[in-house]
Amino acid sequence: MTDSAPIYDDKAHVRGKLDLRNAQWKRPPEPEPEDGHVEIAFIEHTDGATYVAMRNSKQLEPVLTFTMAEWDAFVLGAKDGEFDEPW
């Protein structure tokens, strides 16, 4: 067994508790493909922070939750090709 760094979960207090009832989901303007679009919504929480919720338009759960710093890192990684399929 290897030692690993402790896991710090800075969203434990909001995971599953964000109020998504009035979320304004944003999606690409193209026609929806058979397997759905990725949708995002910016959600203000009672802790004063804004979180980004992300889901598939055809499969409404699970909803992934990002802090703004995590979202910024995710977007930069996507733009940089970090998540591209290997050829």
Q: What is the pLDDT of residues 60-81, one digit of tens each?
A: 888 889 999 999 999 999 999 9
Confidence (pTM): 0.78
CA distance 53 to 71: 10
Residue 32 is predicted with a pLDDT of: 83
Residue 4 is predicted with a pLDDT of: 75
84 secondary structure, DSSP code = P
Name residues of the chain where pLDDT drops below 50.
Answer: none
10 Å Cβ neighbour count for 46?
Answer: 10
Residue 2 is predicted with a pLDDT of: 62
Residue 79 is predicted with a pLDDT of: 94
Task: Map residue 87 onto helix, strand or coil.
Answer: coil
Residue 40 is predicted with a pLDDT of: 96
Per DSSP, the residues of 11-73 read: TTTTTTT---TT---B--SSPPPTT--EEEEEEE-TTS-EEEEEEETTEEEEEEEE-HHHHHH
